[in-house]
Structures are given as C-alpha cells and as structure tokens.
Amino acid sequence: MTDAQTTARAHVKSNAAFLSDGCAAIFDYAEPAWREYRSAAWYVDQLRRAGFSVEEGSGGMPTAFCAEWSNGDGPIVGMYAEYDAVPGNCQAAATTQSPRTGLGPQAAGHTDPHSALGMAGLGGLLATKVAMEHHGIKGGLRFTGEPAEKHRGSKPIHAAKGYYDGLAAMLSFHPFYMLPMCNTVRWDTHCGVAYAMIYRFRCDAPETWGATDGAPIPQSHSDVRAPGANDALVQMYQAGRFLRDTMLPHQGGWSISEAIISTGQATADNLPAGLAEIKYMMRVPTVAMAEQVTAALDRQAEAIAAMTGCTVTRHWVCKSRPGLANHAMARLVWDGIQQVGAPQWDEAARDVMRKVQASCGVDPMDDPLLAVCETLIDPEEAEAILRRDLPPSQRNSTSDDYTDMTWHAPTARFYMARPALRGGPYPAWAMNALGGIRATIDPTVQAAAQVLAVSALRVLMDKSARDSAMREFRDRLQVYDIPPLCDYDPPLHFAWPEYVDTARGRDWHIPVSPN
C-alpha cells in the first residue's frame, strides 16, 4: 500500500457520513430511466463543488453528464455513476414492506442498488483526486453520469460519441447480483450483447369493412369495432413468446423480455386504439444472434401491422456490444480488493437483517448474512464456476452495458458484496430495503470506493502495470474488434414512466398515491 493509496482510503473513511447521506438521497429520489433529473443534478452539483468541470446533457441525454479534472499531463482514469431506479419496486429504507412516503408500490425503487453503485464511484473519485493533489501525482480523472442503465441506455451512446476515448483505464464497479461474482473481478467471460427496441403500432386509418352504410360518423357505437393498435400489441406480445422457441438455439445463456409502454388510452369506446408500443430487450452472447432475433421480430411486426390495419415502426433503445476481457486490469483491481478486503457488517447491521428476516416470516438467525458477502473469491476460481453452465464456445453471458467501455480503454469489471440474507429466497422488497438502509448498505459503498481509489492510483502511478494493460487491450483489438453499434438518437421521446407534480402534489405517473 503506497502513501497515496493510504491517503485515499483515509479520505473515503473520513467522508463516510457524506457518502451515506448521498446514498440515502439518491435511494429516496429513485428516479426511473431517462427521467433521473434530481439524481443527475445532485451529482453535477457535488462534482462542481469538488473542482470538476462538468458537461451536462452529455451525448444529447438530458440526465447524463461528463466531469473532468486534471492535475497536469499524464494518464487519465475513468469512473462513473449510475442512478436509475426500476418501476414497480418502490420500497422505503425500512425493515418492513412499505413504499416510500406518499407513494404506492408501483412507483420506482432501487433494486441493484444503483444508489450505492454511484456513490461508491463518487467516493472513489474524490479520494483519488485528494491523493493526487496531496502527493503531486500527475494525470486526470473523468467521471460520467450514466442514465437508463436498466435499458442499457447511455453507455453505447457515450461510447459512439467518444466519451471513453483517451483513457488509460476504466474502472467499473457493481454491487454483486449473482454468484459467484461477489468480491471479485470478471476474468474471461464478460457480459454479452444487449439489443432493445420499441415497436410502435399506429392506427391512423382503421379498417371500415364493419361500418354501417350511411353512419353519421365513422365507427359509431353500434358498428363493429375495427382492429387497432391494441390488437396489434396483443398479437405481437403473444406471437413473440411463441417465436422464442425457434429464434435461437437452446443452449447457453440468453433471454428476451418485453415491456408494454402505456399511452394512456383509458376510455373504453368503440374507437380502435390509435397508438400502442411494446419494448423488447434481448440479452444474447453475440451480435449475430441479436441481429437474428431482430430480423424475426421485424417480420412478425410487419405481418401483424398488416392484419390489424396499422403501420409499425421500430425505434432503437440500445445496441450494446459484448465485453472485452483484460487480464492485466483484472489482476490490478484484484490486488486492490485484497488490500481493502470484503465489506464488513457490524452487529447493528446484522440486527437490521434479522428484523427483515422476521418481516419475511423467517426465524431470525444468529448470523443472518450470506457468508460469501464477507469473503473474497479469486477471479479465475469465479470464472471456473461461472463456466460450468455455459457451452465452451460461448464467449459472453448475460448483459450489462459497461461492456461498451471495454472497447475504448482497458477495463476491469469488479463486484463488491451488497447485503444478502441467508435462507432465501426472499421477496424483492427485502433486498431493496437492505440496499437503502444505511447500516446495511454503507459497508458496500465504503469498500467499493476504497477499491476504486487504490486501483485508480495504481494505474496512475505504476507505468509498468498501465502499459501492460494497454498492450493487452491493443492485442485483443487486433483479433476481436467491434466498432460502436449505436446508430440512433437517445430514445427520450417515449412515454417512459416518471414522477409528476400535480394539484395532488408530487406523484408517480400512475396515480397510486395513498392520498
């Protein structure tokens, strides 16, 4: 541990209250994708206070940003924050199932939690800056605000527009969400491809074959109701689920999920619905597989539109590349994880966990914490466990859009434990709550921020390690290079769910307030 790294770790610890307050604030904002106005503004304000120059609305995304700071010529290290929450997961930082004050359960809430992810990123960034200033370390820092991660939204756009270019390294942290990826670094098998698109069905000229001759208005109440956009949506939904059985081979890890975007057609009249939208998200190992699925969905959408008197257009939400491994960066961050150690939870935190267990109908345990949360696992050992369920030929699995960063700079993707309970499965609210209660989530933020800081300083100070990572990065690009796939504008204009201010006060876009 160098003096600079010791300084950085001390800074993270001495600012524990600030990081805890920030994590709680972002958790409580719980703003969903593309609509994270308060969360982004909070980060921009803190970064400017800390001396960073900040571009708001980076990449044409209103809730994205790019912050930079320099201590003279030298290598530049990248870190980032995510802060989008998930609709239908509104949970208070409490030991019982309860939505946040004034809201219902269908409002958004943090699940992963991105509130901790972003605050660890900020904590590691600020600690690195302080150490660079104190010890005269040359170089720079770049910190991006990444909205809409649950849609794989911002990073393919930032990548295509050059926001990750020129970095000596990118450090990517996520609270662990699947075993064996807990307190470790990804080795060979990085996340895969994510494509997401919206099919928009419009019924501007409904069928008239059922209309009564001489009716005073088209589609009168006594006429047959013509098919419209809702009919197209239902058929698309059903046919898509059947189509999954034949679109891709039944091996390896892949998934296709859909979401229906509401257009507010809440009056049951005899008029065919004029607009309906369905979003698909596919997580597949390769770009070729994603293109295969897209072509099948396109053919299906066109056929259904013709059947229902509609037109259909496809709108991209994301095209995210698979990840590129970098063993040199993985080893560097693994060294940092071993220096810092796993998060540690005290008895007060364990008591909170016991209360959550009791609320879930589970007898409280002497040690309610999942054992892996406080242990480390070697990256190559984790890799071997991960590969047990994958075909040897499959390079990538699951999806997360950090992968777009890996094609622009040597990148390490690491996971630190978030609090998880023994004896599951538990309902989703329990994990969400533990991700917001200070006593249980602050240890994750503290450990991850310290790993980020000591790793960033290693990149800045250790030219040999830095050069080794860059050589490997360039060598891998020689044999396996995928340019940015993003050829679309940010999908901002859809009816994404959000909070609204009305005469009733601040509410969720679906009026579920208890008042």
Residues near 226 by Cβ (< 8 Å), separated by ≥ 6? 206, 207, 208, 209, 210, 219, 272, 309
Q: Using only the alpha carbons of the chain, give its radius of gyration.
A: 24
Are 138 and 78 in the same domain?
A: yes
Query: What is the value of pTM for the model shown?
Result: 0.94
- Using one digit for the tens of pLDDT, what is the confidence trace for 50-80? 999 999 999 999 999 999 999 999 999 999 9
Residues of the chain with pLDDT under 50: 512-515
Last residue of a domain, one of 320, 336, 358: 320
Could you tell me if 384 and 434 lie in one domain?
yes
Residue 515 confidence (pLDDT): 45
Is residue 90 assigned to a domain?
Answer: yes
Sign of CA dihedral 191, 171, 167, 141: positive
In terms of domains, do 305 and 340 share one? no
> Does 220 lie in the same domain as 173?
no
Q: Output the domain CATH number for residue 64.
A: 3.40.630.10
Give the per-residue pLDDT at 155.
Answer: 98
For residue 50, the model assigns a pLDDT of 98
Rounded Cα distance, 244 and 129, in Å:
49
Burial 186-211 (b: 16+ CB within 10 A, else e): bbebbbbbbbbbbbbbbbeebbeeeb
- Same domain for 181 and 202, yes or no, is no
Please name the residue ranges forming H helices in 15-84. 16-29, 37-49
Strands (E), 34-183: 53-56, 65-70, 76-82, 86-87, 108-109, 140-146, 169-175
The answer to whether position 509 is within a domain reads no
Structural domain harbouring 302: 194-320
Quote the pLDDT of residue 218.
57
Tell me how far CA of residue 59 lies from CA of 157, 422, 442, 497, in angstroms. Answer: 6, 42, 31, 21
38 and 127 inside one domain: yes
Q: Which pLDDT does position 273 carry in this prediction?
A: 87
Q: Give yes or no: residues 84 and 61 share one domain.
A: yes
The model's pLDDT over 150-203, given as tens digits with 9 standing for 90+, comes to 999 999 999 999 999 999 999 999 999 889 999 999 999 999 999 999 999 999
Q: How many domains are contained in the chain?
A: 2
